[in-house]
Structure 1
């Protein structure tokens, strides 16, 4: 505003010459529009006809966040799947930068979807939710999220390695694993396939029939998802045997989540015995949904229940043996004891095994074998080295061997001479 000698005044905004004392902080145009270009203070003045204005003090602060944009704007996926969101901040100085890990993320309906601090959303239910991000009081746009029913991601068939006599049958099972982690029996829903139908055929219900001698690969397909492969070996009828297969230990109990190692041996008519290596037998569990078993005879308890563990001689399927295995809840365990046979004194070079039992019932003398489910440690591996429950005496001295399982601990001291 200009003030004149006749006591009049008028606006001179577009007639004066504008000046900023520090143009690295602020610049000002011919029409008086100032722009903050740096952070700090400057003084603004105006000049006309040699007359200088008063000083206007200008403070330029850091750029302020004006809006937040999150992407993707629309997402649709199956329950159990996840999606990474990104947040971009737009500032008053016309700059922008990513704020994904600085904003607070929100899902309108956490029964449908949850979102982490770093913007990863997970579908936990079926339906719609809205995702937003907040920073410094500013709220982003709303991103629409649609979570559909869980989808099939993989198929697991069992058994994965089996042997039958020509003309006999074997039931296969298929389990579907879904995007939300759930599993479902799909035995009657998949399409079963045999790679060589001259060796084995398989029905719509997963029943394989041995029609020729040799091996075929069995798998299953549903919704374009192909299962793992299972090898089925068909063997001709063998000669009568003068031996039988014995599986040990007999009729054992383990806890859910623990394991049991089985061994197989041949017992001949004359009473002699031969331990079978794992490449000579096929291990099977009658209930794979309760207990799985590896090619090396290690069984793992999945849920409460029981199964039959069977070992079949590969070169003569007429020779087989089996035992029972029960799976119970670990909450039943109230005693845990290491068992030492052969004494506590070893000689260098000796090899000795330890076992550990849990007691879960006093009424029926209920013991459970925890040998292969426990963690075994040696206080001095230079004296005794542990490989699972097996002790190897490698140097003279004293060592304490400790077994532990689910917070239970049992130990013993050994001397190596």
Structure 2
């Protein structure tokens, strides 16, 4: 957005001073200055902006930044063939006006132009109903994707097979077994997400809502995968009654996390039968730096067992299950957030050959913890010194245009070695 600053002088005159004032923004998470009155929105929210020059500050404006708008939607796969009765996951990706993209599979409105042939659920799962062709589209914010063509064939499933015929787990543990269907045309498809599990004894092993098998108590039973009228061969499952004797956390070394980044944790349990099992899903994670309310400060663990760096510092993580605590806590060091992306806060520049211009260049950085702000320790260079050279005087960058042409100014973080997007400079005679 372009803002205009008008300076009023003691002789009664006024003039445009967009390129001379300092633009003051109170919320760099929401917007930043790209020079000469152009402000770019970063994130949805609001900010206040004013202009200052020689100790005089203008009135303050309240500005709202709305979310970027959708410009296009893309669905994959573009063309797909499905045997009757199968399911396939579709993916919808939206492109936005700020040149970003995002997976919007669960947010779009799916449409099948022939529901007799194929239907699509809210989460993008396509179901092949009867042989034929159906065009499928996804729509969000009034923008409809290009149609993909789904071909449903008459091939019928002849058998289904489970990847393993034996498994051993412990009480509380869940496992996911792979299931494939073989069709009359010779094709084979993974149907793991579509089957139901039939257990010989639901008190020992049962199917969960996520189509996983969960051990409930020690014992032996068998399960079969069911899809339509087809049943797989039985899978023999043993739920071990062994007692947990120890827990080991991996990785076993000191984890160094950049603030805002994460690392996957794993807990392995040793049992009284001498066997080891993955108990990551079962343990509770404990942080040594938790405050008196039990809230960790330096790092925290999410429900996917990933530890996240929250603030600079040191802590230790332990795993606890059935009264057993891991013998060794894993040390974690969280270091400062680093720059992941950077933009020079200035609009594209136009100059004349042999012209010199002095600018106070600043760069807006996005950090690993998703914060934004003006970056320190930045070096600026020209992509073509024969056309445009740079020199420096205090905080100012001196641009010297030597001849007609195009060059770019590139900012580099001295600390994190990240380059900015090029700032275009056009020079004419």
- TM-score under structure 2 normalisation? 0.32
Larger RCO (CA under 8 A, 6+ residues apart): 2
- TM-score under structure 1 normalisation? 0.33
Larger radius of gyration: 1
